[in-house]
Structure 1
Amino acid sequence: MEMSNVQVKIIGCGDAFGSGGRLNTCFYVNAGPVRFLVDCGATSLPGLKQHGINADDIDAIVISHFHGDHYGGVPFVLLDAAIHSRTKKMQVISPVGGQRRIAALLDLLYPGTEVLEKLDVEFLEYGANEVLNLEGWSLQAFDVLHSERALPHGLRIEVADKVIAYSGDTSWTDALFPLSADADLFICECNFFDLQVKGHLNYLELEKRLPEFSCKRMVLTHFDPQMLDMLDEVHVECLSDGIELFV
């Protein structure tokens, strides 16, 4: 059987609180000549190093929204790249304002340290529903329902003739259907088992809608302690840190 040419390494799939000792959200997509992170939470750099992934193995970082457990690791990845004299371009792709936010974080965390000045970083921004055509891959963002000030989006990525969809953090929204339509892999947040919390999904509400999805494979992520305790009751594939998916 021919092996897929797209691999997704789960660097971290935890919630903001590291429930169950899991790392913050960070998925490493290796599609041959194109290699990128989908989200880069605060714990991402040590997580990447656990798997032997260094700055030169990352061509781009895609950010779904501006919460620390989804983009707080970007300054550390960039600092590491600068210290190790990376010379090739890295793209950072985010909702509007990514360059300003990341520069401000670097100034707060490492004042007086030259990071962006030493790197070739291209900051790109996306808007909802537009398609961003990149070198060898493309990205489409969808509005989802989470903290509005964090500019939350779901992401639909096409690379190496495969489609990877990611919900980002969101309450239930019908936008999940076009976002994940016929996707080879749909990574869907499911923070809670039955709790109704604004800005996040729970498994019982998602389960009712499962027959309406057309994606080829759905996996769940971003679990709180109750969800972790109830995994035996969950009938959808669930992520854990360190596993590798073949798309």
Structure 2
Amino acid sequence: MRTKDVSVTVIGSGDAFNSGGRRQTCFHVNSSTITFLVDCGVNTLQGLKSNGLSASAIDLIFISHLHGDHFGGLPFFLLEAAVTKRTRPLSIVAPVGCKKKVEKLASLLYPGTEILSKLDLHFHEYSSDQPFMVRGLEIIALPVIHKLETKPHGMKIKIDDKIISYSGDTEWTPVLVDLAKDSDLFICECNFYKKEIKGHLNYKTLSQHLTEFRCKRMLLTHLGDDMQDHIDQLEVACAADDLKISI
């Protein structure tokens, strides 16, 4: 039996510098059984509230890698959860070392509050190349090419009979083709139009590989000024803050 549609709201589609006034990376996904975020940039709480989405209803947060514009919103998200006395369990799926970094960041930003200890909080670390289950979701996390110290991963998330895949931040790698295969939605970073910066993808490179992708829909994200200036020249749809998609 076909399940109900899964809804995706783009909370943030920009880069670390909020280019074009866009929020940092975050995607809100809702199904009949679970609600989760993919990445949690610093503007995440503001973006959720602007879209009328409840932070307290979120069951799970995926973090692709340990750069601030992808996990820096966690201390604020968790602080609000603690202040509002959230009792609902919250799972965070992230690269190795995320828990310690979040603890240190929360302590630095809000000393003396002991945010994490007040929550029913569960951290899960990626097991690269092998499918694993968290909160009823099947996940495959694959290493991609970005700053090594951030432990970068792309991911494929199976929700009932739907698949959402996400590149995380990366330069071109054939892993992207594997991530996108059979996905209902593949969200792919494309920071630049033609500028070549190590660890990030540009559209000129991506366009040379478009025929290799086997996904129902592709959406480009993490858009810098260079990409935003060329949006009308692209063959692939781009994410925009507050965009809503059903898959």
Partner of 1:16: 16
State the match for 2:223 in structure 1: 223
Q: How does 1:177-196 map to 2 (within 5 A)?
A: 177-196=177-196
Displacement of 1:49 in angstroms is 1.1
C-alpha displacement of 1:31: 1.1
Deviation of 1:32 (Å) = 1.5
- Partner-residue secondary structure (3-state), 1:32: coil
For residues 1-247 of structure 1, the aligned pairs below 5 Å read 4-247=4-247
Measure, in 1, the Cα distance between the counterparts of 2:112 and 2:56.
Answer: 24
Cα deviations across residues 112-147 of structure 1 (Å, max 9, x unaligned)? 012112110001111221212123211110110000
CA distance in 2, matches of 1:54, 1:113: 23
* Long gaps (5+) in structure 2: none
SS in 2 for 1:70: helix
Secondary structure of the corresponding residue to residue 86 of structure 1 = coil
Q: Which amino acid aligns with 1:129?
A: D
Q: Work out whether residues 96 and 127 of structure 1, in 8 Å CA contact, stay in contact via their aligned partners in 2.
A: no
Q: Gapped runs of 5+ residues in structure 1?
A: none
Aligned structure 1 segments of 4 or more residues deviating by more than 3 angstroms: none
**CA–CA distance in structure 2, aligned partners of residues 155 and 123 of structure 1:** 17
For residues 145-196 of structure 1, what are the alpha-carbon distances to aligned partners after superposition, in whole Å with 9 as ceiling and x for unaligned?
0000000000100002101000000000001111111111000000000011
Query: Which SS does the other structure have where 1:154 is aligned?
Result: strand
Distance 2:159 2:56 in 1: 20
Cα distance in 2 between the residues matched to 1:144 and 1:153: 5
Q: Aligned partners of 2:81, 2:223: CA distance in 1, in Å?
A: 30
Aligned CA RMSD, in angstroms, stands at 1.2
After superposition, give the CA deviation of every residue in 1:16-70 in whole Å (9 maximum; x if it has no partner). Answer: 0000000000000001221000000111111111112223210011000000100
- Identity, % of aligned positions: 49
The one-letter amino acid paired with 1:191 is N
| Paired letter, 2:16 | A
Contact 1:6 1:160 in 2 (8 A): no
Decide whether the 8 Å contact of 2:48 with 2:55 is kept in 1.
Answer: no
Deviation of 1:4 after TM superposition, in Å, equals 4.5
TM-superposed CA distance for 1:201, in Å, is 0.5
> Aligned partner of 1:5: which letter?
D
TM-score (norm 1): 0.97
SS at match of 1:47: helix
* Contact 2:107 2:114 survives alignment (8 Å): no
Partner of 1:170, secondary structure, is: coil
Contact 2:24–2:43 (8 Å) recurs in 1? yes
2:240 maps to a residue whose letter is S
TM-score by length of 2: 0.97
The secondary structure found in structure 2 opposite 1:156 is strand
- Structure 1 distance, partners of 2:137, 2:198, is 33
